[in-house]
Structure 1
């Protein structure tokens, strides 16, 4: 990596100090405006990946530093070992003589930002955030329950207190102190968990922000390297969530108070106003985990060329829908067709029979399933509308 990314690398070589305006990931240096123009038309460099220097600064520095160079042999990475899930330079190959799955890194990083592996990491980040939010909500509910129960116990204690003699004042005070101490101690344990969860949430948010910058502005190689680094961070966060559940941190803490029945007899032998009890019950909260059946997120290998694929006719459906401009297949096997001339959308069963139709929504163009039992339909340029149709309620 260039010693100073704020200066133009070419100008600096000629002992001219000029500020860089772009960063070339393949040249691994910044370029000023004049050098940028030459760089963009040169046959050797016109296809290089570049980014505005301001966007380059936003990228995570520990991901970019020494990203393309082997730390052991100080040579550029050229291969990827699928067996050991690691990058290799030419000298590293000597260690991987028995590995058959050594692949050119240029093949590995093709379309990495649109690969399933990139998508899985992005979705796993969202999942970790959702799980932290669910656990935080669970702990907040427990705090609320404890406070409400505390008020119920206080009311019961005070109501009982009015029925007995003044000589029990000291016993009542002792029980109140015990109640407050118990509630504070148990609440403190839950608050510690919440504090840790909030800190983890901020860390995940930072990863997501870096993820957006990497996705928009980084090269394919650096994106790939960032993915490998963040896989490890995600694994740590997932283990953290699992440890919370396994170590009974989510057990539902409850407190209760049993009033001494002997108080009603007003005998001199009464030594306590009541006694605090603590119970801890499993909350039954389950967290989402995308990779229950996966040991790790695998690198996306180069996809097959469409010219080498063969297709097989699965089914032929005959419909009465005319002038079809768009279609979509729903998760349950039903089919949706948009008819421009008839100004309607038809939902067909898997056997081709009409399930239901929505009419009078303009000359319909395309249709797509958007989740939550809904489809979106674009209408003609005259109405400029997007209609959302609930396929469950059929309206």
Structure 2
């Protein structure tokens, strides 16, 4: 292919003439100026060649398609249907001489644009792109979780430090208070002894003065008697003073810091440790089917409902003391069952697929319907509040809240577009940010439930006991009405666009052929259905979930 700022005309270049090409021949793979294009159309051999504008050529200019055999270097001109291989003229006699299904590549490529392989390839690319986008959103969500975890841990560290500081402050104040009290007690004992000694000192000083005065001024008799009396008193005081001296104590204040405090100061080197727990995150990757055969391939695109069978996996009754009114249900990627209980409890209810109650999940209002966005997110409708909420399906934190002008009931998603039924002849189409993309007008004023496939949407009209199938643009393709379906509510669609609808008053499950021309009643009241209201089909696990109004749950495998 040509490249650069302009595309030269191939035939003119053969004559060493430089001219800009105006068109590109996809068969010859060269540019054509206006004169050469006119001549190109005149020649019989190139009359039916396809030419495109240079602008369109620019779109495929860098698409690398090899037409040369990688083994022999010759042009690829043949196709072996038996081995599903493209061949050159050397490959045919060397390895495919005995093959009866060798045809020219021209014949093999006929209607290539309408081939199942191309359709499968496009679906594979779209499917893989969706998987990558979901993985990107998952990892972005995981990154935000790390931010939240970091903030929570930082808060814990600071709160712990504040708590420790407060506790240390209290212990310090208590110890200082004990120090003051002990010091005061010791000093009080010293003071008491000092007062005694001071009293003894004053008394002895007074006796000394009296003895000196007696010696100077008293008579011998008075001196004799005084000496004896004072001496007796001195003996008593000496004994008293000796007792005081014998009971005298010295006090030394010391402190014994608690061993844990010592360890905290000397041995504890870390405030804590940041640990990372790793676990394999099983991201749901839905493998798209890639079929490389160009011809002779018969891939089933439909399934007759007569061949559809339901095998019961598990049935159980939701046990609650309060009122229960089931309006919506879904199977989460982890296999758990999520149920919308549209009462004033404002809760979703989570069960395992074995019927074990996992938890009740508080939500913003009375939930009506649920649909799964991807492996990490769901969306819930709240008619009374006129809002949708996108929740993380692991911790059920709110990731986005979308306010609507109209009431909202059933909801479904395809290719990142939310289809919300309003019950007033309209379906709102939103992206995941809440931006309104379009509003579809439909032939129904009594629609509550909706589901989608890759190219269709389906909704029930309960008052008219009908089921409608439309394109994703809202153009009606068919509608189905039967007396056997009384008040149809929940609706689901399988991998073949066959429709599953529950009749509330008829107490049954009806399967409708993908073209709307045939139906069969698959489950009835005798199978345990009692006013069924919600139904969900898991296209990966091929399971069907049915919930009755009063909380009876049944899970089936579709075979």
TM-score (normalizing by structure 2): 0.35
- For the pair shown, the structure with the greater C-alpha radius of gyration is 2
The structure with higher relative contact order (CA 8 Å, sep 6+) is 1
Structure with greater strand share of residues: 2
Structure with greater helix share of residues: 1
TM-score (normalizing by structure 1): 0.48
